[in-house]
Amino acid sequence: MEGWKRVLRLQGSSRGPFVQVDETAVVASWMDGGNKMVKLLDGQVFEVVQTVDIPAPPAPEGGKIKFKSSDSTEFEMDRVAARKSPTIMFLVKSSRTGSIPIVEVKSKILEKVLDYCYKHVPSQHRGFSR
């Protein structure tokens, strides 16, 4: 749903406090004894207690995102394309800077990752700039 995002309310195996995360942070999900379980990008495993759709915050101006590879090459891409990668969107949401550093990924590999994202979006959003 455009304008909405899905948020998961999670509880760890220790039955500690609840955690609320955006669904883009989930890398795997499965059923375990009638309970839905998820694994997050950081490797933690949680039980899904509740799934809620909430209004998404407005997109930042311009609709472009900047990335910086480990060898200091900068790339810019449309948010529409970035949404095709949960890992990239997780980095975007957790970044507080204008140019998101992609640690330990050289420009040659980052270029291939970003190109892959563009292959899965409508043609008007294709292509990124260096």
What is the mean pLDDT of the segment spanning 82-86? 80
pLDDT at 1 over 50: no
Tell me, what amino acid is at 3? G
The rounded distance, in Å, linking the Cα atoms of 46 and 18 is: 10
For residues 47 and 14, give the distance between their C-alpha atoms in angstroms, rounded to a whole number. 10
pLDDT at 15: 61
Residue range 23-46, pLDDT digits in tens: 778 888 999 999 899 888 888 888
| CATH 2.40.10.340 correct for 61-124 | no
Distance between CA atoms of 65 and 129, rounded to whole angstroms? 11
pLDDT in the model for residue 71: 92
Rounded average pLDDT over 47-69:
75
Query: How much is the pLDDT for 30?
Result: 92
Neighbours of 107 (CB within 10 A): 18
Please say if the pLDDT value at position 117 is more than 80.
yes
Residue 108 has pLDDT above 90, yes or no: yes
Domain boundaries of the chain, sorted by first residue: 4-55, 61-124
**For all residues of the chain together, what is the average pLDDT?**
78
What is the C-alpha separation between 31 and 99, in angstroms, rounded? 38
Mean pLDDT value across residues 82-89: 80
Asked if pLDDT for residue 13 goes beyond 90, the answer is: no
pLDDT of residue 61: 46
List the one residue out of 86, 80, 81 whose CA is nearest residue 111: 81
**Per-residue confidence (pLDDT) for residue 116, from 0 to 100:** 85
Q: What is the pTM of this model?
A: 0.47
Query: What's the distance, Cα to Cα, between the start and end of the chain in Å?
Result: 31
Q: Using CA atoms, how far apart are residues 5 and 10, in angstroms rounded to an integer?
A: 16
102/77 Cα distance (integer angstroms): 14
